[in-house]
A and B are shown apart, each in its own frame.
Chain A
């Protein structure tokens, strides 16, 4: 399931940042993707929420240190729906 979410997330990232070359690893951070910063972060999270049909809490959004944390949270939320 983790890998399935990673593939879906990669597609969301590629569409949002208009960059087909984006490859997500668990260790990927905002330093690795040029336009991923505080200005685009929440809009990106909104896209992810719409895709997976849930809402992040504020504390969840500010707690992610890398893509691995994000995937873990999404897995937890989709499993417990």
Chain B
């Protein structure tokens, strides 16, 4: 059940009505039951698996908490962490090219949500073992943290204890329909009017008619970066808006990352729930152990953390290179930052800021070529075209570049593309103000009516695509 379907909104409405009718102490069970139904409607294997693995994690974490013997606590800890990590590895293996297609058919895993709730479970087990938790959870709280339907498909990744605490305070008073509806509408516009339209150009030029012209490939790389952002942030808006309808606050995943002036800043603002998890459970523990090694310790910790992140996305060479490229960027920026005389610091802000934004956007787009490519060979040929001065510029600008970027010239397609570009530019320059107005918690009828009109006339309803990050 995709978020951008009528079926989802009918489901959401039914759950909201039931949630509003029942007494406060039962609201949690409405969310739990509806979330289990949601997962079951996607796939029954996924439902059986998530309930089973949640019960195992909950049972073992309770045993760890209650166990007096340090030795047994340690054994239980490593066993359950090993089980969770093995789950992710096996799932990624079954989804990769390493395993033959005939074997993939026997996979007991089903993709949706596994990568996200497994990280949540690992975090919870670590926090239990380290005695960081302040409250004792019930199984229904734990299970709902994993299956809560607004965030089941692609996060955000939550801290299970923080999420569960909210379940104790569900009241009709905390429901925020105004904010929820507007945030969902924002997400739908980002996904169906911007991301899905941009995806047409990416698919056409990346998959269907790959080009040897560098300028075309560079432009498509930039368009893909924009598509990825609006797709994933649109999903996040719908997830957070849906959760807010029930009075639940999920963590933000983005903080206007496309305005970043460095790759370091970018990673503070992109997929925040994942980077927070990686920082807390991999980067900081590793760099703490290596802190006497100073710079070398930071570099090693960074490299390992990003490698993990690459494998979390998938067991493919391209994801590995994507991750390594980012760790290299960050290491270079870290080392430049340590230089006593950093020439970049002397530049005035009016020059430094745009240079920083262009540099950051260009380099992350380069890394996203690997993210998007189906193979290393494909990514390599794209890079070769971009850095080949003989084939960078098209011989015929209109036929070899503009026509390839557009998809055939139909009037409606050009009009919709035009609307997409206008909205894209508006978001790139003014996204912060849109969210400030949203967070002001007023009903903005101009936005609601305008948004619905834009959706009706300009959204891509035919050939809808699933959210990119639901594949991880």
B-binding residues in A (CB < 8 A): 18, 35, 37-40, 42-43, 45-46, 58-59, 61-62
Contacts of B291 in A (CB 8 A): 42-43, 45-46
Q: In the complex, what's the smallest C-beta–C-beta distance from A54 to chain B, in angstroms?
A: 14
Contacts of B294 in A (CB 8 A): 43, 46
A-binding residues in B (CB < 8 A): 130, 132, 264, 268, 279-280, 283-285, 287-288, 291-292, 294-295, 297-298, 302, 330, 334, 337, 340
Partner of A38, one of B279, B292, B340: B279
CB pair A39–B284 under 8 Å, yes or no, is no
Apart from A42-B291, A46-B292: 20 A-B pairs, beta carbons within 8 A: A18-B340, A35-B337, A37-B268, A38-B283, A39-B298, A39-B302, A39-B334, A40-B334, A40-B337, A42-B284, A42-B297, A42-B298, A43-B295, A46-B291, A58-B284, A58-B285, A58-B288, A59-B130, A61-B288, A62-B280
CB pair A38–B337 under 8 Å, yes or no, is no
Contacts of A18 in B (CB 8 A): 340
Contacts of B298 in A (CB 8 A): 39, 42-43
Contacts of A61 in B (CB 8 A): 284, 288
Contacts of B132 in A (CB 8 A): 59
Contacts of B288 in A (CB 8 A): 42, 58, 61
Q: A45–B298 Cα gap in the complex (Å)?
A: 13
Partner of B284, one of A37, A43, A46, A62: A62
Q: In the complex, what's the smallest C-beta–C-beta distance from A57 to chain B, in angstroms?
A: 9
Give me 23 A-to-B residue pairs in the complex whose CB atoms sit less than 8 angstroms apart, sorted by A's number: A18-B340, A35-B337, A37-B264, A38-B283, A38-B284, A39-B264, A40-B334, A40-B337, A42-B284, A42-B287, A42-B288, A42-B291, A42-B297, A42-B298, A43-B291, A43-B294, A43-B295, A45-B291, A46-B292, A46-B294, A59-B130, A59-B132, A62-B284
Contacts of B285 in A (CB 8 A): 58
Q: In the complex, what's the smallest C-beta–C-beta distance from B138 to chain A, in angstroms?
A: 25
Contacts of A62 in B (CB 8 A): 280, 284
Contacts of A35 in B (CB 8 A): 337
The residue of chain B having its C-beta at the shortest distance from the C-beta of A45 within the complex is B291
Q: In the complex, what's the smallest C-beta–C-beta distance from B49 to chain A, in angstroms?
A: 31
Counting from the closest, the 8 A-B pairs by CB-CB distance are A58-B288, A39-B334, A42-B291, A42-B287, A38-B279, A35-B337, A46-B291, A62-B284
Contacts of B284 in A (CB 8 A): 38, 42, 58, 61-62
Contacts of A42 in B (CB 8 A): 284, 287-288, 291, 297-298
